[in-house]
Amino acid sequence: MNILVIKNALKFYMRTIFYLLATIILITACDKNSDSPAPLSDIDGNQYDTVIINNQVWMKQNLKTAHYRNGDPIPEITSMSVWSTLTTGAWCWYNNDSLKYAATYGKLYNWYAVNDPRGLAPEGWHIPSDAEWTILSTSLGGDLVAGSELKETGTQHWETPNADATNSSGFTGLPGGYCNGVGTFDNIARYGILWSATEIDANYAWCRVLNFSLADFARDNEFKGIGLSVRCIQD
């Protein structure tokens, strides 16, 4: 075989190997900076996907833990007459029906669980403050439109029309409804109401609301005894 042909073949193979290695390195680098960081687990072993939204790292599912970060149990309260008297942490399933609602919507917690010093969020995470919710909303265009980018699309879980939902942020907000604390559950599939860690006074704390009929991400306040959904943000 001609020496020149051999040299050209070797050059070709060397270039091919170089490009393959460069491609592998590039893919690896992109992976490390992707918008889908590694999943996390809470103390009960529940798994959560996560998403980066403008430098904040959020859970993509509602919290499901039945224990504080230190391992202490959070009481499940199924009697609403008991729930309405509480000033300590508690949780329940919507309508007290875990089979129907647990996998999709997570637990509903009162604000006393959110604020408990033993820690409701997994290690390295926390319940977002009102200011952190505002940063998220502002980065997505503000309260009047941010809900559009935060809501899961379609009507599998949201009631029609699930107005303007794109989920372009990847947050995948869900309408878990609430426990009103006096004996009834309401608005599953219509509203996703999420606690903040910021209190207003002895009785009320700030929260955020996703709405089936609007594109907004409303800042609202609720009585601390109400049972609402929880999302966590990385420290």
Note whether 179 and 67 are same-domain residues: yes
- Residues 217-232, mean pLDDT to the nearest whole number: 97
Note whether 5 and 93 are same-domain residues: no
Note whether 139 and 206 are same-domain residues: yes
C-beta separation of 146 from 183 below 8 A: no
Note whether 77 and 9 are same-domain residues: no
Domain containing 126 equals 40-234
Note whether 104 and 48 are same-domain residues: yes
Confidence bin at 12 (pLDDT 50/70/90): very low
Residue 198: both structure tokens together: 């910021």
pLDDT for 141-176, tens place per residue?
999 999 999 999 999 999 999 999 999 999 999 999
pLDDT at 10: 46
Q: How many domains does the chain have?
A: 2
Residues 71 and 44: their CA atoms lie apart, in Å, by 9
pLDDT at 16: 47
Note whether 58 and 24 are same-domain residues: no
Residues 197 and 159: their CA atoms lie apart, in Å, by 28
The overall average pLDDT reported for the chain is 88
Note whether 82 and 192 are same-domain residues: yes
Note whether 7 and 60 are same-domain residues: no
CB-based contacts of 186, cutoff 8 Å, min separation 6: 177, 178, 180
Note whether 115 and 226 are same-domain residues: yes
Note whether 24 and 135 are same-domain residues: no
C-beta separation of 194 from 127 below 8 A: no
